[in-house]
Structure 1
Amino acid sequence: MEIKLFNSNNKNINDDLELIVLQNLKNIDKKISKKLKKIGFEGKESQECFFENKLYIGATSLKKEDLKIAFANAIRSIQKTKFKNILINLVGEKELNIKDLTEGLILGAYSFQDYKSEKKESKINIFIDVKGSKKTLEELKKDFEETKKICDSVNMVRTIVNTTPEDFYPKSFSQKAKEIALKNNLECKIYGEEYLLDNGMNAMLAVGRASRHESQLVHLTYKPKKAKAKVVIVGKGLTYDAGGLSLKQDMVSMKCDKSGGSAVLGILEAVSKLKLDVEVHGIIGAVENMIGGDAYKPDDILKAKNGVTIEVTNTDAEGRLVLADCLCYAQDEIEDIDSIFDVATLTGACIVALGEYTTGVMGHSEKMKKQIQKASNKSGELVGFLPYNRYLPEMLKSSIADVVNSPGSRAGSSITASLFLDKFIKKENKNKWLHLDIAGAAYREKVWGYNNFGGTGASVRLLVEYIKKIG
């Protein structure tokens, strides 16, 4: 799909189909309104109607998420037809937001077909007529290009998440990081298991021990000339999670456990393309959690990079072990951090608490929570906040080590997982850290708004927006 902006005052195009998004039928020609009502179209969300070389799409409103969803629905419908040249008028009953329109089209048009024997090619040309806009063509093109860069990174992340564990494993992460670094002038450091052993990263090392694929620690850095802040993002990169010896009952879709690490790649690509004035470090713990004679076991005691000892009570609570060492690495290697996030498909309990579409946010800093809420409102990614309290840390106590990796209770288990990670955040960084649990938002097995089946690229738009605002 190709999108072009033009002004019909200066240029005409030959279109096959005009796409019109309507909130209701009040502001269109009465004769057309009557005909549309006769065939059951009332302008409600998700309604669509092809009529006289026009595609009418219903929307709850003509702004923000409603507009994105409307255009996502529209492009999916067009992809099922043979129409090639599509006209959209930016200014109709009101001027549409070019960023929301673009986001809906690009994210809605995404399709993962890498494993299809017959691929459906969608050679669609979208022409957006900006005639009557309050902005100049140059201003609109700037907004369009910025949005496209972010959406392209989201779609890259979706493709990584959707790729099978046989084709995307820990060393694939390091290879992809190198490619992104080379294209975007980023620093890239890759470390293998020898480094993990030498540097006391025994928790991460244990998780990947039974895999035939060597675990990889990836560190990407974007450094502008005059950085206004320094942000660190740590991502869980479990390329597959069988649960270890605490074997999962259902492993289908566990390729999605690399969503946090994949998002780190997308964020670093986007901030470098946007040339933001913030130094950003992306750290990925790329591991495969398998079973075998060399697998780590319940009852093992692991010592993390910061010296904290961990009693393993559940080998399927592996993501927090990987993140623990990666968080320690980040704080040891990077000075003067302004904010630090970890992003992970960490707990199914987060889906129970907040639903399938919402990222769980936990941490000590109320200021950062307010900032991430603003980024949520702007980006459209949903967030919900889960509170700490004085009683839950007791559940992580061990009789034979400093802490257990899993309390063995479902009660508040998203929060206790976050409190486990808190053990690996230095005192001076407690109010600079937030944990993002993307277990629900990262992968869906049905169409959701402008997200199709599979990976969603969760947290890319959210954290890019956060970084834009602090820069």
Structure 2
Amino acid sequence: MTPRFAQSSEAAIPVHVVDKHALQDWLDRQPARIQTWVHGSGFKPAIGKALLIPGAEGMPEAVLIGYGTEVQRKRGRFHLAAAVPSLPDGAYEIVSGLPEDRVEEEALGWLLSSYVFNRYAGNGGAEVHLLPPAGVDAARLEIIAAGECLTRDLINTPACDMGPEALEAAAAQLAAEHGATFAVILGDDLLERNFPMIHAVGRASDKAPRLIEMNWGDSGPKLTLVGKGVCFDTGGLNLKPGASMGLMKKDMGGAATVLGLAHMIMALGLPIRLQALIPAVENAVSGNSFRPQDILTSRKGLTVEINNTDAEGRLVLADALAYGAEGDPDLMLSMATLTGAARVAIGPDIAPYFTDDDAIAAALDGAGAKVADPVWRLPFWDPYEDDIEPGIADLDNAPKGGFGGAITAALFLRRFAGDDTRYTHFDIYGWQPKAAPARPKGGVGMGARALLEALPGVLGL
């Protein structure tokens, strides 16, 4: 289902948004019959609560949606979306009570609340549509919601149907939709074209590794997006235990997020040159798996000692980043479900990012707060550079000790982006561990909307 707003031609039920302190004031202005109905129902304006008010003919005349308290609202986002599942199908229009600075967030949350992953169970989503509030760019929000739903669908699809070839097909379909050019370097051609670490990680699978490339736009600053496309991660010969392997269908969440963001950028027609790079592999186990203590030579010429085959994402990203940097982008971004250390640091709800550019950080922090897509800056901490230098090779893919694991992974990637590239790295989770308003349990986009909002300022559009 593609999220959509209600059309102006649809008869819409008025929605009154009431927080704890506004309910009585709202009631005082209503006819006695409505006051009696609300009091008799025992309605409390908590977040997620809704009350239909019947008209003279018994059909809904209006609906009250609770907005809690300011303290409660600070504990979440997309609060109106919490009430949407309790509403009957139909069109709705917000007519009072919603703070002006929350209109866009709540409108997007209402759109996203219609998302259902129904590829296998066939469950249809509810048809509860919101009339676009005044002042909201409805077309823009529908595009953003569609990009987010693309990301969710890709992450939610299991590896049996979302291997490297299926990820390639999804990218090709997106490129065709927007008139982008599309190319793939497949299997042993990766060696001939000098992408040795992408090949090394993916060669053990019967699904050939590949580098997917999409280019769009012919003028403006160049933005290169690099997304980790490990479609399933067994851990390789450093095999993951079963509990850790259970969610590894989402290890291509960086690629899924890049494709969702690319859709937003292209559909909105941003005046940039967009390059999207996705190293797509399966980290499998067979007789030709890469091994602990192997030393790989990267596209950039840096050698890498393999101290854990489960730290494979940074290897495939490294070759792609080196290639992206050769194109001299104005900004290069990597998105990856890379380290558990990032989750330990700030949990599953926030997208951590690394940048040496204070202007980018300020733009991202402001954008994340504005569009309800929380981000948090972590440091490229130069004193930890020694930790990724093993001595026997230029770099170590899995430094011992475990401290600062998200930072050392980011430092590793920065080596391949190069000193002359304006570079930012996101270490996302890509998964909603429990249902929340507008975000059902499962795959979820992180950081993409904040990036979209920040790009005009960062790139001078």
Instruction: Work out whether the TM-score is over 0.5.
Output: yes
Alpha carbons of structure 1 residues 98 and 385: separation in structure 2 relative to 1, 3 Å: closer
1:438 is aligned, of 402, 419, 428, to: 428
Gaps of 5+ in 1: none
8 Å CA contact retained: 2:84, 2:128: no
**Match for residue 78 of structure 2?**
69
CA distance in 2, matches of 1:410, 1:51: 57
- Residue matched to 2:43: 41
Question: What is the CA–CA distance in structure 1 between the aligned matches of 2:128 and 2:347, rounded to whole Å?
Answer: 36
| Pair 1:28-2:26 in alignment | yes
Cα 1:437–1:306 change in 2 (3 A) is same
CA deviations over 1:400-432 (Å, ceiling 9, x no partner): 111110012221111011111122122212xx1
CA distance in 1, matches of 2:206, 2:441: 29
Partner of 2:256: 262
Alignment of 1:36-435 (within 5 A): 36=38, 39-52=41-54, 53=60, 54-60=62-68, 69-78=78-87, 83-91=88-96, 99-116=104-121, 119-122=122-125, 124=127, 126=129, 128=131, 133=134, 135=135, 140=136, 143-224=137-218, 226-227=219-220, 229-249=221-241, 250=243, 251-332=245-326, 334-335=327-328, 337-429=329-421, 432-435=422-425
CA contact (8 A) 2:82 2:436 kept: no
SS at match of 1:28: helix
**1:170 deviation in Å?**
0.7
Distance 1:33-1:191 versus aligned 2 partners, 3 A rule = farther
| Distance apart, 1:144 and its partner CA | 0.3
**Contact 1:360 1:438 survives alignment (8 Å):** yes
Aligned length: 441
Determine the structure 1 residue equivalent to 2:57: none
Shift, 1:200, TM fit: 2.6
Structure 1 stretch 83-92 or stretch 449-458: which is displaced more? 83-92
Contact 1:67 1:104 in 2 (8 A): no
Residues 66-104 of structure 1, C-alpha deviations (whole Å, 9 max, x = no match): 9962232122223xxxx3323223455766865333311
Letter aligned with residue 408 of structure 2: T
Deviations 1:338-392 (A, max 9, x none): 1111100000111110112011111322222112212212221111122233431
Task: Give me the CA root mean square deviation.
Answer: 2.5
Q: Is the 8 A contact 1:309 1:403 kept in 2?
A: yes
Q: Is the 8 A contact 2:114 2:126 kept in 1?
A: no
Residues 351/129 of structure 1: CA separation in 2 closer, same or farther (3 Å cut): closer
Q: Deviations over 1:170-216 (max 9, x none)?
A: 11122111111111111212111233201332211111111110111
> What is the CA–CA distance in structure 2 between the aligned matches of 1:94 and 1:364, rounded to whole Å?
36
* C-alpha contact (below 8 Å) 1:59/1:67 kept by paired residues: no
In 1, Cα distance between the equivalents of 2:416 and 2:454? Answer: 23
Alpha-carbon distance in 2 for matches of 1:450, 1:392 = 39
Helix, strand or coil: the match of 1:367? Answer: helix
- 2:451 maps to 1:453: no
Please tell me the residue identity of whatever aligns with 1:108.
S
- 1:217-271 CA distances to partner (integer Å, 9 max, x unpaired)? 11111215x41x2211110011111111111112111111111111111112111
Q: Which amino acid aligns with 1:22?
A: V
- Report the Cα distance in structure 1 between the residues aligned to 2:98 and 2:208, rounded to whole angstroms: 58
Q: Scaled by the length of structure 1, what TM-score is found?
A: 0.87
Q: Tell me the distance in 1 between the aligned counterparts of 2:229 and 2:74.
A: 29
Change (3 A) 1:90 1:467: farther
User: CA separation in 2, counterparts of 1:96 and 1:374?
Assistant: 14
